[in-house]
């Protein structure tokens, strides 16, 4: 069966440090992996995605790494800011991209 799961429920980092949020997945058929940010009282917000045929993708202050050998996905946030405090979900989609399957979230706490 398909599943996407996160390693740690809570991550605390100092403001200005880099954050790394990890995720394991089991569905080898996934075509896209996505990271979402969910702030309190809001819906998930798309951050960045990566296709299964890539191993790295960079955005503004964020980098997603995909290691298909060990079925591992990570989100790196550079120079973490207080506004980055939120719950981060990894997710995957495949089979026509209608449905997004979310993993359990990691709460990122940025310490000023």
Provide long-range contacts, Cβ within 8 A and 24+ apart, for 47-56: 47/75, 47/88, 48/75
Footprint of another protein on 3-32 (CB under 8 A): 32
Tokens of 5: 């799961």
Q: Which of 20, 57, 63, 102 binds another protein (CB under 8 A)?
A: 102
Number of residues lying near another protein (CB under 8 A): 22
Tally of CB atoms within 10 A around 1 = 4
Q: Least distance in Å: CB of 109 to another protein?
A: 16
Binding site for another protein (CB under 8 A): 32, 34, 41-46, 49, 89, 91, 93, 96-105
């Amino acid at each position: 069966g398909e599943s996407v799961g996160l390693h740690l429920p809570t991550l605390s980092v100092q403001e200005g440090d880099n954050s790394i949020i990890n995720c394991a997945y089991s569905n080898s058929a996934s075509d896209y992996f996505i990271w979402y940010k969910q702030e309190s009282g809001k819906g998930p917000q798309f951050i960045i995605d990566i296709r299964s045929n890539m191993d790295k993708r960079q955005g503004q202050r964020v980098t997603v790494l995909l290691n298909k050998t060990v079925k591992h996905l990570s989100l790196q946030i550079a120079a973490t800011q207080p506004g980055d405090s939120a719950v981060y979900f990894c997710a995957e989609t495949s089979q026509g991209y209608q449905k997004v399957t979310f993993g359990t979230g990691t709460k990122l706490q940025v310490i000023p």
